[in-house]
Structure 1
Amino acid sequence: MALGNECFGALLGRTVKITLTCGAFQGVLQRVNADRSLVLRAVKNLDTGRSTPGAKMFFGREIVNGKEGEENVDYTVVDCFQQKFGSAVLHLKQQSVVSVVAEGVHLCRHGRLAWLQIATKSQIFLFDIFLLGPRAFKNGLQMVLEDRSILKVMHDCRWISDCLSHQYGVHLSNVFDTQVADVLQFSMATGGFLPHCICTLPECLMQHVAVSSRSAALMKGREQMAWDNPDIWFLRPCPPSLLKTLALKAMYLLQLRSSLMDKLMSDLTALVDDYINAFRNKSGDCLGSTKPTCMELPEELLQLTDLQKLRRKKAMEDYKINENGLLIRPAMKLKEKKDMQKDGSHREVGDYLLTNREPCQTTSYYDPDQFCQGKHENQNHDD
């Protein structure tokens, strides 16, 4: 349950759950300090299952429960073939655009796929591939992913494409890759320069979508947690905080695609506006000498060259250039960075500021055959 800070005082001595940018924790509330920090005892990390003896302090700025900027997201976990799976695939087959995200360990032909998140405008499905296995693709997901009439929005599709092809025989088609689109948009905005690096999904979202810094930190924190302990994606049942992160990525991808499309099409839109006004805002006398069949490039389109020169000049003033002639992108930073540093409870990870976390341990996880044996015994008719 999401709680505001004002509610915690009434819960002294009771077990509470708090969500931080670095994870979700549960413990007995021992003290609420004036600076909005909390002290819990018998703390359990709900993402890793690890318990910590004694008391632990959580700073107010770490807590995201019920705070402004925290996203509410509804999603459906699909972990068995009965009931939810069939209706989910049917819904996806009726779409023209979906977003696709994957989580696992070393996602390529040699890795392990744990989750496949697919979102539409109205629904988000979290397919538990660890439990469903290859049957998930044979029973409908392959048809969706290979359907050329369905646009799949993804971020850096190289790895999951390799994984799907070599492990499941699935060949992706009709993909809009937001990482590629981000580089293309950067090149357009700088008059043809390329950036020195690509962007992660949280970085792209901070750049192109109105995502709160808290939500971006939440996703980045989960990414770092999974990097430190990859097997966390195979923990069953999966902690709700991780499931929410999976859903947020899929939801935001659709928004990211729309934003990038608007930016990529901005020059076209501007030039078409000039075309609209090319003749109608001029004196009628000039139209008499205009040849309707003339195929010379109009002045409205020639301005593209001048526009690119101006952008290139500005880019050379605004960016540093590395030895390869690529523009060095500035690091993305969260708005709350300075405030977070004051309480000394945070450290930097990559370009994002994240909270200190407990040392990660190897997560034990269930064998999918044992876990779903009872559930799958009567599902042969779904094959």
Structure 2
Amino acid sequence: MSCRILHCGKSLNNYNLCIEYSVAGFGTRGPEKDDIIFLAINHEKQTLCGLRARLGEPTDQQPWPDADRYVSTYKLIDIEYANPFDIRFLVDYGGKYWPLKFLQGAKAIKDEKAVQALHDVFDKHRVEQPVPLLKGNDLNIEEKEEEEDTLLEVDPSELSEVFLEVPEARINVMGTFQTIPFKNETDALRGLESLVNENFYNLFPRYSSNQSLLIPENRLFLSSGVEARGEKLVKGIRSIPDAILIVYSEYEKQPFKIALIEYECFGENKTRSQEKSNYLNGQVIPQLMRFASAFSIVTDKQIRDQTIKMWVDKIIQYIYVTPEYISKVSGWIKQIRPDLSDQLVGREIDRVITEAFQKALQILLIIDDLSDEQKDTITNVIRAFKLESGESIEFISYIVRLEQRIRVSDADTEYALSVQ
């Protein structure tokens, strides 16, 4: 367990959203479950802290306008509040370059005296409820929030001194890599789907193997595909996802989520922008819409319930073939319902998975190229489909690329450079 300072720069909006939604977003890898974080912000020429919490499970909830900046997000648990206090006293422990030592990249603070001082000062200012930081009367406050935060800037003339005082501020590169295309989506040796399935939990630390179950059976599920418009049933198109992911989090309002995974790959054959655009608009987006419509209220309820029942039955059959999966999923059920008898666990698994299809469905696209504009377009399209609960179907996308090693110089460092 490490102690970190999550610094929101000058963004009062992001700071308040972290508090409102009890989530923390990080721009780099490193933070882990159970780490202690202090939430800080530059506000009116002070560096203020008003929250201390422990990191819970990873989450997909990213309420910030600049959510794409964050590579990992965690629920905040064991939350405590303080009357916002200035943390610039850390200069006594970190010296002239204390922001680089303690704030940069929400790194783990190794100075135990600095950590203890943070806890002690927080305890002196602790209050029961969050204390809001209000925007000033400056009409340009939003523009100021978008300005670069100068707290972590380094004068090039002081670079040698910085590296001497804070050697961890330097980004050390482990090696160099060349991006090469996947052959296609389904190739057994160099296909995106097979390589991602084999390395799923190494690629996506957001999904813990202990808190999720990947079902990479692309022919196991088949949606009925009948769409209802008004009272008239219109025959639709059958849809098969490439995989299904069951995600469990005891701290979420809806502990179970279902993600329908679609792998798509432009590969070696679609390299031009127009080819990619045509494929995305003509095949990928319609396919994702078919997934969403099968479980949305646009589909007749009887057909929708029939599809959900069929899929839930197949998921349960898949689980009960493997003792490891039975133990894992049963453990989740017992965690949220410890008094439930063993005889009723199977029935509860059926209920919670059914409810996940009705209330917490996600469409997860894993692809080798996608622009921000294309992602926004697909997000808006998928979120237009409503579930029985009234919630929108969520859309999540990941870009995965195949990298070939050029040279590795230091395998123990965190960063690498790649060239396309």
TM-score by length of 1: 0.20
Higher strand content, 1 or 2: 2
Higher relative contact order (CA 8 A, sep 6+): 1
